[in-house]
Structure 1
Amino acid sequence: MRFLPSSIRPSSDYAYRDHRQQWSIRPLLWLSATGVALVVLIWLVVVIFPPLFDPPRDFPSKADALRSQNDVRTTLLQAVGGLLVLTSAIIGAYFTLQTLRNTQEQLDIARSSQVTERFTRAVEQLGSNTLDVRLGGIQALARIARDSKEDCLAVVDILTAYVRTHSPWPPSHPDIIDKGASQGGIPPLKKRSPDIQAILTILGGLPHGAAIVKIDLVGTDLRHANLVSARIAGADMSGARMVVANLESADLSDTKLMFADLGWANLRDAQLRGAELNSANLGGANLHAADLRGANLQEAKLRGAELQEAKLHGANLRKAELQGAKLVNVDLSSTDLLEAVADDNTEWPEHFDWKRAGIKKELHSDPATE
């Protein structure tokens, strides 16, 4: 398996050497220029400046005139000495700063090499036939993501690719069936595929949040997964099979769940603002107090779904199947329900006029989820 992205490989050693050579040449140029300037300055102070700062005057003797110019020289040399002390301090600070920079660069190079080695080792572990070894590789990648915000994207790419490859829907093996879903007959994902559940737990708890990464779980088998309080806003899980999954209090804002199967899933108190749920199956799902403001639920299957106290302001439920759905204590004043289908088992908010909302009434329907 080749998951290691080129973006996390260290920079070329040649580029690093060129960079170091540039910094090693610059101080020599500065020292040469400073030496020349110092010689010129001393010559000016000793030869040129004294007569200029000591204008012609009548002295009793030539010795007095020389003494006057020497006093000027002494004053100028003292000023130059102070300037040299200040210059030396500045140069010392400059070289100290350069040393610190070079040391930091060396540390960064060493750290980058360590991260690359950890990546390579972890990816090799993902290809093992032993579950414990794969779990070790998954946890190693999780630590890299926690330690380095820059490498978080690469880790997510690797882990999501692993899920799409090892847990696709439809399944690669025809003997994997979906019987007994409504009765909880599907074993928990942690029992069926501990490595896949471990990855979902990591993705749902990234310290930097999923806003910086692209979580791609399109067409994956996540039946009976545990994603309680997971933070996966903006993820793409279109077509995923998530029957009986536990997503209570999860942040699924702006997620793409088109054609996803969330039958009998637990979405109580989940954040689904702006989510794309058109044509998704939510039959029998628990959406009690879920935030669905601005969500697209056009043609979604919501038969028998529990939507009590859910927030549906601005949501699109056109042509949605609402047979047997429970919508008690829900504000539907700004919800688009045109051509949605309901039946006698649908429970509406008090004083709600379903006819005026453009809802169609289906007679003698079976409220069970398809």
Structure 2
Amino acid sequence: MQNPRRRSPEQQGRHTPNLWPVWLVAPVSLILVAVLAYGLYHGVDVFLTAENPGKKPVSGQDNVKTTVTALTLVGAVLAGLYAYRKQLLDEGASHRADAMQLAERYTKAAEQLGHDQAAVRLAGAYAMARLADDWEEQRRVCVDVLCAYLRMPYETDTGAEGYMKGEREVRLTIIRTIRDHLQDPTEATTWCGYDLDFTGAVFDGGDFTRAQFIGGTVNFRNAMFTDGTVSFLGATISDGWLNFLGARFTGGTINFLDAIITGGTVNFLASAISGGTVSFLASAISGGTVDFRAAELSGGVIDFDRATLSGGTVDFSAARLSDGIFSFDGATLSGGMVDFSSVRIHDTCMISWGPLPVIPVNEP
């Protein structure tokens, strides 16, 4: 059985006041007022008598007037408290209405993202992003929904079963929307520091130009890059984790041109590059790690041309370079470490070390 002295549980909704039940407050208030009136009456009598020593006793009418005046002041205070209580209830109702409206917007945007027509899905993507800006409490949920959309099965071949006309534009728009929210970590609506999960997604393009990855994990684990350019042009990686673990590159380009890596990790551990290009052209690596351990290059290009390595680690230990092009042409190494321990290089792989020292390798 519920304890009647306990306050009622907080109502559903945001900012709803936790109030005592009326059936308990009302009789307690009446008893307190009665006790207060009784005490005031006798207290006033004692006070007025003490203020008039040697004179005739204070009349009961004077006592009543003084008591009524005091009770009137008390009533005014109680009325103010009641008005404040009513204001809290009105604010709670208003916030509940806001929460219902936001929930309805979420439901509508989610339904639009699942629509058959690309134009409606596109509107749903914009609506979900706008909702994330307006709904701070559930912003992460809205961002997760957009990421989940990119993880959905995606057919890039226009002649294959399951291809959806206009789908590429919807996906590129979602990526651009995410990029736009990663530009300034000081903005109130920033998504910097959020975990972004693209596990197993298929990419045939995408623009993360000048995004700032500060904290959190951006997960491209087991993703497939098939065509187009996924651009991290001028991106800043100062913390957190860009994870391409087990990703497959069969075409297109993933481009870190002019990227600035001062911390965190860009991880290509056990990735497979059979086509396309993974380029760190003219990037500046002064901290953190770029990790290609156990990666396999069987076609395409890994490119660190004109990169500046002044700190941190670029790690190719146990990588296998069996075909394609592997280039450090024009790279500058003034600090940090480039690790090629136990790397295996086949004769058909074109290698350009640039100014880097010749590093012993193990032939397959």
User: Normalised by the size of structure 2, how large is the TM-score?
Assistant: 0.71
**Distance in 1 (alpha carbons) for counterparts of 2:291 and 2:65:** 82
Q: Which amino acid aligns with 2:292?
A: L
**Between Structure 1 and Structure 2, which shows a larger proportion of strand residues?**
2
Deviation at 1:15, TM superposition (A): 5.5
Contact persistence 2:45–2:63 (CA under 8 A): no
Match of 1:226 in 2: 207
Question: After the TM superposition, which of the residue ranges 293-302 and 236-245 deviates more from structure 2?
Answer: 293-302
Match of 1:4 in 2: none
**Distance in 2 (alpha carbons) for counterparts of 1:328 and 1:191:** 41
Q: Secondary structure at the match of 1:331?
A: strand
Q: Secondary structure at the match of 1:128?
A: coil
- The counterpart of 1:163, out of the listed 132, 150, 171, is 150
**Distance in 1 (alpha carbons) for counterparts of 2:269 and 2:51:** 93
Change (3 A) 1:29 1:138: farther
**Distance in 2 (alpha carbons) for counterparts of 1:290 and 1:203:** 24
**Between Structure 1 and Structure 2, which shows a larger proportion of helix residues?**
1
Match of 1:279 in 2: 270
**Distance in 2 (alpha carbons) for counterparts of 1:23 and 1:201:** 51
Match of 1:3 in 2: none
Q: Which amino acid aligns with 1:39?
A: A
Change (3 A) 1:336 1:26: farther
Tell me, yes or no, if structure 1 residue 296 matches structure 2 residue 291.
yes
**Distance in 1 (alpha carbons) for counterparts of 2:131 and 2:20:** 33
Deviation at 1:217, TM superposition (A): 0.9
Match of 1:109 in 2: 96
Deviation at 1:259, TM superposition (A): 2.1
Match of 1:249 in 2: 234
* Larger Rg computed on CA atoms: 1
Contact persistence 1:205–1:231 (CA under 8 A): no
**Distance in 1 (alpha carbons) for counterparts of 2:129 and 2:83:** 37
Q: Which amino acid aligns with 2:283?
A: A
CA RMSD in angstroms, aligned pairs only: 4.2
**Distance in 2 (alpha carbons) for counterparts of 1:281 and 1:270:** 22
Match of 1:201 in 2: 176
Contact persistence 1:45–1:77 (CA under 8 A): no
- The counterpart of 1:270, out of the listed 259, 262, 280, is 259
How high is the sequence identity, in percent, across the aligned residues? Answer: 16
Deviation at 1:307, TM superposition (A): 4.0
Contact persistence 2:342–2:361 (CA under 8 A): yes
Q: Deviations over 1:173-217 (max 9, x none)?
A: 9949xxxxxxxxxxxxx97611111221222333331424x3221
Q: Which amino acid aligns with 1:269?
A: D
**Distance in 1 (alpha carbons) for counterparts of 2:253 and 2:80:** 67
Change (3 A) 1:304 1:269: same
Deviation at 1:29, TM superposition (A): 4.7
Change (3 A) 1:344 1:277: closer
**Distance in 1 (alpha carbons) for counterparts of 2:255 and 2:108:** 37
**Distance in 1 (alpha carbons) for counterparts of 2:202 and 2:219:** 14
Deviation at 1:160, TM superposition (A): 2.1
Q: Which amino acid aligns with 2:211?
A: A
Structure 1 residue runs of 5 or longer lacking an equivalent are 1-11, 58-63, 177-189, 364-370
Q: Which amino acid aligns with 2:37?
A: V
User: Normalised by the size of structure 1, how large is the TM-score?
Assistant: 0.70
**Distance in 2 (alpha carbons) for counterparts of 1:301 and 1:103:** 63
Deviation at 1:149, TM superposition (A): 1.4
Deviation at 1:293, TM superposition (A): 2.1
Match of 1:183 in 2: none
Match of 2:361 in 1: 360
Match of 2:4 in 1: none
Q: Secondary structure at the match of 2:112?
A: helix
**Distance in 1 (alpha carbons) for counterparts of 2:75 and 2:305:** 75
Q: Which amino acid aligns with 1:316?
A: D
Contact persistence 1:45–1:76 (CA under 8 A): no
